[in-house]
Structure 1
Amino acid sequence: MVHNIDDSPDLQVNKYNLAGVATGSGLRDGGSVKEQDQLLPIANVGRIMKQMLPPNAKISKEAKETMQECVSEFISFVTGEASDKCHKEKRKTVNGDDVCWALGTLGFDDYTDPLKRYLNKYREYEGEKANQNKASNNTDKGEPSICSSGQLGNELNSAPNPLKFNAMERK
């Protein structure tokens, strides 16, 4: 989405830029934002692309750059919609639920449910981690734990596996 500054066509700025620079403020280099500051790091994009390919597959620089631009624009598009919702609700923080809502609103319904499931699992995982840290801090201070006979120590040493999220199934 593009909006005009002073109604001049040669002064158009991307309304939702990934670098988080507000239009008209914080601009560098005499009024422009460096393109590299608006894009995801190409190494990260390439690493994600490689995960979906056979081990011996190669990816051209042009393919990585094209994907880099596409995913950066997609993130900006969805985040902008979520940000608009927050602005209308007079909130300053965009959260995961806002992103899920934006995906549905923008027609990406196939991604909404898997992302909501992932978000819920992530929140559960973070809650468990916080509870384990709280219990660990209590035992470090010599306070009694809620578990009996060393059970807490075993639970802390067996941390849950990191969450994995696969939006697409490989065939």
Structure 2
Amino acid sequence: IANIGRIMKKALPDNAKIAKDAKETVQECVSEFISFITSEACEKCKNEKRKTINGEDILSSIQVLGFEGYNDILKMYLAKYRESVRANGETVGVEEKE
């Protein structure tokens, strides 16, 4: 709930307050949204006989479920994330084929 509160505060004026039930409601909505998107991504993986959900699966799910307005910004975020991971010498895991 603390993270949700911080995110919500960024969208509000400095003097705004957020009731606990508002934070809890947003938390429930976010959890449901994550489950919705993940379930679609999982179906895609099953159909392709893969076990690991990757960033492309999430982007595809967002498109399929009608949230295509978020696709461009999420593609940019995913690219920056991968770039950051590679710059730190970590493995991203997206190139893995099962």
TM-score (norm 1): 0.51
Note the C-alpha offset of 1:91: 0.9
Note the C-alpha offset of 1:45: 1.1
Q: Work out which of the residue numbers 65, 70, 74 in structure 1 matches 2:29.
A: 70
Q: Percent identity?
A: 61
- Give a deviation string over 1:131-168, Cα, whole Å, max 9, x none: 8xxxxxxxxxxxxxxxxxxxxxxxxxxxxxxxxxxxxx
Where does structure 2 lack aligned partners over 5 or more consecutive residues? 91-98
Q: Work out which of the residue numbers 83, 86, 96 in structure 1 matches 2:42.
A: 83
Q: Is 1:113 the counterpart of 2:48 in the alignment?
A: no
Divergent runs of 4+, >2 A: none
Q: Is 1:60 the counterpart of 2:60 in the alignment?
A: no
Q: Is 1:126 the counterpart of 2:77 in the alignment?
A: no
| Greater relative CO (CA pairs within 8 A, separation 6+) | 2
Greater helix share, structure number: 2
Larger radius of gyration: 1
Note the C-alpha offset of 1:48: 1.0
Where does structure 1 lack aligned partners over 5 or more consecutive residues? 1-41, 132-171
Q: Work out which of the residue numbers 23, 41, 57 in structure 2 matches 1:98.
A: 57
TM-score (norm 2): 0.86
